[in-house]
Structure 1
Amino acid sequence: MMKKPLILVTNDDGITAPGIRALIEVMNTIGDVVVVAPDKPQSGMGHAITVNSTLFCNPIRLDPEHPQKEYSCTGTPADCVKLAVREILHRTPDICVSGINHGSNSSINVIYSGTMSAAVEAGIEGIPAIGFSLCDYSWDADFEPIKKHVKSITEQALVHGMPKGVVLNVNFPKLPAEAIKGVKVCRQAKANWVEEFDKRTNPMGKDYYWLSGKFVNLDKGEDTDEWALANGYASLVPVQFDLTAHHCIQDLNTWDFND
């Protein structure tokens, strides 16, 4: 018999979030699951790591009916993956899955996403990794319609492997199961947040700020993640964590840095 794959599960919404509980349920049908996830929400943390304070990572039992081992970590999503690989797991996992995030991580959101940063951290370690997100920010979001797709994508990644230096960013539209047309491989849309700060004053006379804004899609292409999601598809974007702008190197070598 073939050995079951070892699957590391993490997220950024916290270990009790409904999204990660749904992801754990799916992963238990595929392999042996170990969960290392933040003890509280860490959305928008990007690739932050903890360097100025101690980290705690404690065993926790949230689901007595299922066999997975779980650990609640005081750190960021990237911390969770680092601790899992270096301290908790006895062998390299066959895959790391992060999510399912409550809310979109499409387009420019991938930069800020703790969900995707956990996947990227796994990728840096040479582990195939996928970040899953549902375009529904509600804590009571319904993950049932996307579970079969989450399972299929994970199984395909295990069968085919992942290109070196690449992780997958998968987003699902908020739709009933029968309305999801399938999975479309896409590029990241060119979009950004137009941000504002809501400035207020507290009773002590000190100013404080709430970040707000709106998401603006500047990309009219029909090969983007934003187009796919708007048209009823799950979007799958291969993400590389080598941030070198290779196309600029030749031009930059024409500069005279000694002038």
Structure 2
Amino acid sequence: MKSTKPTILVVNDDGITAPGIKALISVMQELGRVVVVAPDSPQSGMGHAITIGKPLRLDRDDLYEGVEMYRCSGTPVDCVKLAVTRVFQGHKPDLCVSGINHGLNNGINVLYSGTMSAAVEGAIEHIPSIGFSLDDYTWQADFNHCLKYVREIAQQVLQNGLPVGTLLNVNFPNTPHIKGIKICRQANAKWAEEFDERVDPYKRPYYWLTGVFQLNDNGQDTDSWALDNHYASVVPVQFDMTAHHAIPVLNSWKFDV
């Protein structure tokens, strides 16, 4: 008899051994049949990068008993592409979840995030997709306080689906007392970046990227406001990056060619 349980693809960017993906797997096992395809090493900040200049490895793994798992030598997006084409053989899973990321992906971070790019790739493949992140960068992060929200949001997506071309960016504050869920817009926020110059033993300079996250948005409907006020933020994201409001402006230009 064919199982009626939904099939759920789990991926991340912190690597297959990260505590965040272990927490996400445990919740998804309550909802359906879990298949994990995750990077074999951390891939944070990879954005939507794909591997085109070298071969990819995809190996079975038995890290967690009773879970079909594969470790991939590529990026988070590579993981989703290989999952769809090789693991599922073109039969799409019912849900793709990415994370739980060690660190926030609010504001402009969504563009750089490997966690969110994996979810975006899922949405491109017409799979309802969600990226989950927690405001704790440490390997010892405690995800327990956000797991019931992960389950509820995933359950809602399984039951209701998502608008075409849309996925969810979900972030959790680092507090044991989350007040609830807020549907938000992405805040106007960015990194004020600097490069810390240092010198190696051979007297050659090298650089570490540093910076401060700057919020340029006073709205109370943003993901940053929700997180600062101890809510889980849910932002609907789309991969169509067309600035539709700018088309009439550009059409008013007079091109002399």
* Runs of at least 4 residues off by over 4 Å: none
What is aligned with 1:20?
Answer: 21
**Aligned residue runs from structure 1 range 241-256, under 5 A:** 241-256=239-254
**Does 147-156 or 83-92 show the bigger shift?**
83-92
What is aligned with 2:137?
Answer: 137
What is aligned with 1:73?
Answer: 72
What is aligned with 1:33?
Answer: 34
What is aligned with 1:115?
Answer: 115
Distance across 2 between alignment mates of 1:200 and 1:140 = 29
**Aligned residue runs from structure 1 range 100-249, under 5 A:** 100-176=100-176, 179-249=177-247
- Aligned residue type for 1:220: N
Shift of 1:258: 2.3
SS in 1 for 2:97: strand
Shift of 1:205: 2.3
What is aligned with 2:55?
Answer: 54
1:147-195 superposed Cα distances (whole Å, 9 cap, x missing partner)? 111000000001110100100000000111xx21111000000011011
1:79-103 superposed Cα distances (whole Å, 9 cap, x missing partner)? 0000000011142100000000000
What is aligned with 1:86?
Answer: 85
SS in 2 for 1:121: helix
**Does 199-208 or 114-123 show the bigger shift?**
199-208
- Aligned residue type for 2:230: G
Distance across 2 between alignment mates of 1:256 and 1:52 = 42
Shift of 1:2: 6.8
Distance across 1 between alignment mates of 2:199 and 2:3 = 62
- Aligned residue type for 1:47: H
TM-score using structure 2 length: 0.97
**Does 193-202 or 9-18 show the bigger shift?**
193-202
Distance across 1 between alignment mates of 2:163 and 2:234 = 14
- Aligned residue type for 1:16: T
- Aligned residue type for 1:15: I
SS in 1 for 2:34: strand
- Aligned residue type for 1:201: V
Distance across 1 between alignment mates of 2:215 and 2:8 = 35
Distance across 2 between alignment mates of 1:119 and 1:79 = 12
SS in 2 for 1:248: helix
Distance across 2 between alignment mates of 1:205 and 1:182 = 52
Distance across 2 between alignment mates of 1:200 and 1:8 = 41
Shift of 1:68: 1.7
SS in 2 for 1:116: helix
SS in 1 for 2:86: helix
- Aligned residue type for 1:34: V
What is aligned with 1:99?
Answer: 99
1:183-242 superposed Cα distances (whole Å, 9 cap, x missing partner)? 100000001101111111212222111110100111100000000000010000000100
SS in 2 for 1:81: helix
- Aligned residue type for 2:17: T
Distance across 2 between alignment mates of 1:53 and 1:2 = 38
SS in 1 for 2:126: coil
The alignment-based identity, stated in percent, is: 61
